[in-house]
Structure 1
Amino acid sequence: MLAAVLHGINQKIVLEDRPPLIPAAGHSVVKVQFAALNHRDLWIQQGQYAGLKYPIVLGSDGMGIFEGKKVIIQPGMDWGDHEAFQSRNYRILGLPDDGTFATEVHIPTSNIFTKPEHLSDEEAAALPLAGLTAFRAVFIKAQVEPGDSVLITGIGGGVATLAMQIALAAGADVYVTSGSNEKIQQAMALGAKGGVNYHDTTWPQTLKKLSGGIHKVIDGAAGRSLGLAIECLLPGGVAVNYGGTTGPIEIIPQRLFWNQATLKGTTMGSNRDFAAMLEFVDEHRIRPIVARVFPFDQVNEAFAYLKNTSQFGKVVLSLPTA
């Protein structure tokens, strides 16, 4: 098989021939056709992730062929017995286990799901990690309902964009933040009610006037951004955080306790969540936004493109199938 291998911090990824994978008990080998990048892959390459080990085949997202059928891969393994939280053995494909940036991937058979028929292969590869994270944040944690005003921060990223699509399908009024006016316009073209540029220091006031106040926040940035988003919450509102790209959360405590607001954390989701996400995506014909598809031998160019943060949607790799 052919694999894209990272040998150390800040090193380029190299393509290597490796022996075919042999499935262990309870596991199977999927022939990967398309894989998608996540910022997690960038952070591992940059040495900014826990449990680093090298060499490693990165990649959490993928679709491929298993037993002659097109399948999609659930990247979270060993969630455990409690739906509310993951077990100590929980891990995400692509570290510490070799991931989807290879023509074969070895995973638990229970993590293999049928690809939704309405999705292209590229769209299916773009769905798993972002779709699962977004679905759990929107429904399990924020409990978004029709008519809710929902703020999605950092639109353009994979999770944020799918969270917007999922919340819109649920009947919510969605607002977004971005550092790019173009991305705000793209979000509005997809159905968002409006958006604000977070480079404008008065954006919370602008958003409150625009929306009348926010019921639910879905955030992956943390830092000062989440604190400002919480300022937009209506009394009894809920903020859900799934990432920390801008550092430690900066919150004025009174914005939470005096407003009877709730801050929740979320990470990925269980196999049950994944199945529910696929059902919702299928029912509402949601199609992940694919920003660009790179051939497998341009994997380093794909990483550079993702690092540039100019994309709206997911970056996908096309793997050789011969």
Structure 2
Amino acid sequence: MNCLKDEQYYIDLYDLHTIEECLQSHKSAIKSRPQKPKGSKVRAIRIVTDLFTYYIKGERYRKKSETIREWMAKDKDKDDRVENAVAPQNIYCDSCSNKMNMTMKHLSSDDTRVMFWFECPNKCKKRKAVFDNGEEFKADPPLCLRCSERLNEKLERKGEKLITHISCPNCKYKNEEVIDFEKDRKEWAEKERKDRELLKKYRWQFCLNEKEGQEYISHIESMKRLKEVMEESDKKQKDPAYKKVQQLKKLKITDLRKKLEKILTKERYLNLKLDKPQIERYVIIPFTLEDGDSKREEYDSRNNCRKIIKKALEKTNWRLMSEGISYRLGYLSGNLKGYEREEDLADLVR
């Protein structure tokens, strides 16, 4: 008997679990609500119950495809293990020493090993079970609950019933265990009928279709993003650095040029030119200018220019880069660094 079923079997099974979980949630809500609620209380209870059920349905949908794939892969693996298992050779009957024939194979009750069943072709018809590694299966002998003596068992078939007569040779304890195959079939058929009824009655209500499921996933992702934004906003409000960021003047490149030209010209630094910016995480702009005071020596010219630019950019989103300013024959050059991201600006003012 194959473990792997068609996909619809697993879909129905998963949806049944979803329906049962939602129905149980409704029952719990009814039990926990106050006695005879009225008016607004009834509406409030219904809203809370529906909301809770919505999240159950949504989470069940979100995990549905993956869970079904896992179930099917697990059952296929079981079938593959049984299919590929090689039967042990040279298994002989303990009663007549005849070589036995393999009749069937299946996984052991704990799904860890493949079990092969052998039957003697002679009149004795003895059987034995052997695992795929050649180890013979030995059932633990039943022991008397009163005196721990090994029990005697005798099987009897009466129509659709298999009766095991149990007796103790020591203390005379007796008992019967009955397997009623007809009753089991009826109970199984009744369970399947009830399952079909549950699916027919509640699947539309508790099992989201693809459109509804994708809407739920989008809703959850939006809620997750909103939570992250709120947490980040709360974090920023508590961080003094972010408060300082709000006070910075965010200059665009045109505004930057005008600001520096005005201040530098007053100090006789002329012909400020900004080169093509390098735009990545930061905006890096090479700049050049000329010292209009021919009496200033290199050190004074560089040092004075650096101080002027640093002071001018102090309360803005721009900084003079750490390599400072180069000087050749009254011609000065350097690099300006612009910050855009809020977290970078926070690091800047810390």
Q: Quick check: which has more Rg, 1 or 2?
A: 2
TM-score (norm 1): 0.19
Structure with higher strand content: 1
TM-score normalized with structure 2 length = 0.18
Which fold has the larger relative contact order, with Cα–Cα distance below 8 Å and residues 6 or more apart in sequence?
1
Higher helix share: 2
